[in-house]
Structure 1
Amino acid sequence: MRSDKSWLAHISAGLGLSALVGVLCFHFPQLLTSREFRAAYTEDFARNLLLIGLIAAFVLGTVSILRNRSRGVALLGVGSAAIAVLLGGATVHFNRIESTPYSLGLDWFVISLFFSALVFIPIERMLAVRPMSPLRHGWRTDLAYFFMSHVLVQFVLIAVTASTSTVAAFAAFPALKAAIQSLPVWAQFLIAVFVADLAQALLHRAYHNVPRLWRFHAVHHSSRRMDWLAGSRIHVVEILMTRSAVLLPLVVLGFSAQAINAYVILVGVQAVLAHANLRINFGWLEYVLVTPRYHHWHHARQAEYIDVNYAIHLPLVDMLMGTFKRAPRGEWPAEYGVMKLETVPEGFWAQTLMPLGPKRTYSEYVGHDEG
């Protein structure tokens, strides 16, 4: 397929643009990098990753140009890498980090995208439910969501922290907090996963049953192809609502920072894994943990799966809510997406604006031009 032939060019473009962003992060760390995420990596790690990106962008882009495949995309990769080198490359001077009330999480975006793609693209090629190119229909839209959710991480955290802290001040339970805080971190983590998953599942069900909320959540369900990147398609309003609803009980009940941080890591891993294009049979684990097949059926374009499998981590939560439904053994959905495709438009900006305006149908709706 044409998308397969242009892989090297697109990888070159992705790495070249990422390298350029990385150099800018070195020049303006206080504005472009996340304060919380900076503590998770060293300057040497960032420089080495930048160097690898620059070399790979030049090599892959040059190969694509010589093979005359997607030359425009390849030139974007080589050109971006060249500009990055002119701005300092991997030896760029590191400016002192000044204090700012907010910043963009471009470092979080670049590193997260790099390693997610590095891990999941090869695995999905080997163990796919349905073989498809990473450059499948709609990948640019999902990449835009991935970008926005990571770049706006600090603003989301500020909004969520403000809302949860305000409510927590009026809902203190000293005895319960003391009991939870007396537990070891591993026990707090397990309880936090259950409490957070229950809170999110209840809100998730509301998204499906309250028409106004569904219009925001329909954006997530509009994906017609399921893979590691598809899980990023979430409306920013839903991100704010969900993060607040999930973190609120954890803050109110007094879980330790270590337990909450461990839960946040689990969310990041499982959210990607649950949407991944992986045919792995987890067997009895499908009764214990939310797996790709379990969550894929939640996205199925079939009436009998519209109101089931809301849990993000634990099927036990769905069992308690009466919404657990295990699919026939070994089977996967024939089709994904909302039931009324024409109600969700194509493209990031159109989907962002869709829930804010009147209900309507669109001529360019999700997957309208797919065969």
Structure 2
Amino acid sequence: MARSRRSFLAYASALLGLLSLMAVACFHFPELLTSREFRAVYNEQFARHLLLVGLAAAFVMGTVAILRGRNKRVAMLGVGGATLAVLFGGTNVQFDAIGKTPYSLGLDWFVLSLFFSALVFVPLERYLGKRELSPLRPGWRTDVAYFFMSHVLVQFILILVTASTSSIAGLAAFPSLKTAIQSLPVWAQFLIAVFVADMAQALLHRVYHNIPWLWRFHAVHHSSRHMDWLAGSRIHFIEIVMTRSAVLLPLLVLGFSASAVNAYVILVGLQAVVAHANLGIRFGWLEYLLVLPRYHHWHHARQQEYVDVNYAIHLPLVDMLMGTFKLPRNQDQWPREYGVMKLETVPNGIVRQHLMPFQGGRKFDDYVD
């Protein structure tokens, strides 16, 4: 019997229903579930209006899917999640001034980031994708789990990164160089910061590929068999901390202004998603100036001749300087297949993948395929 197609409305309802429930939880426990740094980006009214839109859309999409008889259980999850969100206060939840806590989860960052990322990239990949690829392709649940982990634990990641870089940065002081950099306009500092950070990241990236015990951490990222906007989220927690520390350290040592560093952080978040996205747009000469999807897709190609190339995440110039630049001139030429060369070395599931680097390169029966 042929398997029925998944209903986009049902899954969209489920996503919005669960996100709405999480948003209501954020209103109830803002000190514990929301990030102080991210709260500065949005205001309460914006969050309430967005929650109202999410609730309405979850109810409508879920009801339509149920009436059409498509993925009823998934649709019920969306309607049920939205119903619980309303019962727990919906958009009318009131709270006092938000107190201070030594730490908190970034559930608000996860909710808003997943909502807007899906809102932008799902339609883009649907109409401009190089491959016909469903948002619910194999492995999407694992990648959503990684997306959840990296966003919800954002403050803990920042604490670890700061702890690993601040003391070293304090020891390596270059007053005259810092003064020269800080005397530049912010836009110039930003451009230099992008180059410096990308060089540091690319060097570490190449080390990941060439030292076996580090490769086991990085292999998790390369285990994605499908490339889309969500695939870039699949990164081992330890690799997140190591990479962000390596990138932040030179920026701190050289004394770039907070504005330049913040602008770089925005860029790296955006470009990391775009580079993995399933976008078949012809960018022409821009592919030699900026790291765009086809460039980074070749880095993920499951082809022997591409296992040691295209390490940059921002500027192909970095790979040109390192001697690791490689890109087919034919803009219609894309990788045939993605993933690690030895599929059996990476198991399925976020928990097993986090344990995998500590298991000595063993082979698994239930592996990414």
**TM-score category by the smaller chain?**
over 0.9
Which residue does 2:322 correspond to in 1? 321
Q: How far off its partner does 1:186 sit?
A: 0.1
1:244 match: 245
Is the contact between residue 105 and residue 153 of structure 1 (CA under 8 Å) also seen in structure 2? Answer: yes
Q: Which runs of 5+ in 1 are unaligned?
A: none
Q: Distance in 2 between matches of 1:299 and 1:13?
A: 31
Residue 361 of structure 1 is matched in structure 2 by 363
Match of 2:353 in 1: 351
Q: CA separation in 1, counterparts of 2:68 and 2:4?
A: 15
Instruction: Give the percent of matched residue pairs that are identical in Structure 1 and Structure 2.
Output: 74
Q: Does 1:158 align with 2:159?
A: yes
Shift of 1:2: 5.8
SS in 2 for 1:5: coil
Q: Aligned residue for 1:101?
A: 102
Task: Write out aligned runs for 1:114-263 (5 A).
Answer: 114-263=115-264
Report deviation, 1:230: 0.3
Partner of 1:21: 22
Using the TM superposition, give the Cα deviation of residue 74 of structure 1 relative to its aligned residue in structure 2, in angstroms. Answer: 1.0
**In structure 2, C-alpha distance between the alignment counterparts of 1:350 and 1:325, rounded to whole Å:** 33
Distance in 1 between residues matched to 2:327 and 2:70, nearest whole Å: 45
> Normalised by the size of structure 2, how large is the TM-score?
0.98
Alignment root-mean-square deviation, CA = 1.0
Task: Show the counterpart of 1:271.
Answer: 272
Query: Is the CA contact (8 Å cut-off) linking 1:177 and 1:255 kept in structure 2?
Result: yes
Aligned to 1:100, the other structure's residue is in SS state coil
The answer to whether the aligner puts 1:113 opposite 2:114 as a matched pair is yes
Calculate the TM-score normalised by the size of structure 1. Answer: 0.97
Unaligned stretches of 5+ residues in structure 2: none
How big is each residue's C-alpha offset from its partner over 1:2-47, in whole Å with a ceiling of 9 and x where there is no partner? Answer: 6853211111111011001000101110100010000000100000
What amino acid does structure 1 have at the position aligned with 2:350?
F
The question of 1:75 aligning with 2:84 is answered no
Matches of 1:158 and 1:358 in 2, distance apart?
29
| CA-CA distance at 1:314 after TM superposition | 0.3
- SS of the aligned residue for 1:272 comes to helix
Aligned equivalent of 2:339, options 320, 337, 361: 337
Post-superposition offset of 1:178: 0.3
Deviations 1:191-214 (A, max 9, x none): 000000000000000000000100
Counterpart residue number, 2:301: 300
Alpha-carbon shift at residue 358 of structure 1 (Å): 2.4
Residue by residue, what CA displacement relative to the aligned partner does 1:315-344 show, whole Å, maximum 9, x if unpaired? 000011010111241200000000000100
Residue 87 of structure 2 aligns with an amino acid whose one-letter code is L
Distance 1:276 1:205 in 2: 22
Partner SS state of residue 358, structure 1: coil
Distance 1:204 1:349, change over 3 A: same
User: CA separation in 2, counterparts of 1:3 and 1:149?
Assistant: 33
For 1:280-295, list aligned pairs within 5 A: 280-295=281-296
Do the aligned partners of 1:141 and 1:347 also contact (CA within 8 Å) in 2?
Answer: yes
- Secondary structure of 2:336's counterpart equals coil
Q: Name the SS of the counterpart of 1:353 in structure 2.
A: helix
User: Measured at CA, do residues 110 and 182 of structure 1 come closer, stay the same or move farther in structure 2, by a change above 3 Å?
Assistant: same
Q: Distance in 2 between matches of 1:78 and 1:2?
A: 24
Distance (Å, rounded) in 2 between the aligned partners of 1:55 and 1:225:
32
CA distance in 2, matches of 1:56, 1:94: 25
Q: How far off is 1:96 after superposition?
A: 2.3
Give the partner amino acid of 2:309.
V
Q: Which has the higher mean CA deviation after the structures are superposed, 158-167 or 178-187?
A: 158-167
Segment drifting more, 72-81 vs 300-309: 72-81
Q: Secondary structure at the match of 1:187?
A: helix
For residues 77 and 258 of structure 1, what CA distance do their matches in structure 2 show? Answer: 40
| Separation in structure 2 between the aligned mates of residue 166 and residue 155 of structure 1, nearest angstrom | 18
Q: CA deviation at 1:363?
A: 1.1
Contact between 1:228 and 1:273, CA under 8 Å: does it hold in 2? yes
Instruction: Tell whether 2:40 aligns with 1:49.
Output: no
CA distance in structure 2 between the partners assigned to 1:103 and 1:57 by the alignment: 28
Answer yes or no: is 1:63 the counterpart of 2:71.
Answer: no
* CA 1:207–1:304: 2 relative to 1, 3 Å: same
Report how many aligned residue pairs link the two structures. 367
- Counterpart of 1:261, as a letter, is N
Is residue 297–residue 327 contact of structure 1 (8 Å, CA) maintained in 2? Answer: no
User: Is the contact made by 1:3 and 1:133 (CA closer than 8 Å) also made in structure 2?
Assistant: no
Give the Cα–Cα distance (whole angstroms) in 1 for the partners of residues 169 and 79 of structure 2: 51
- The one-letter code matched in structure 1 to 2:43 is T
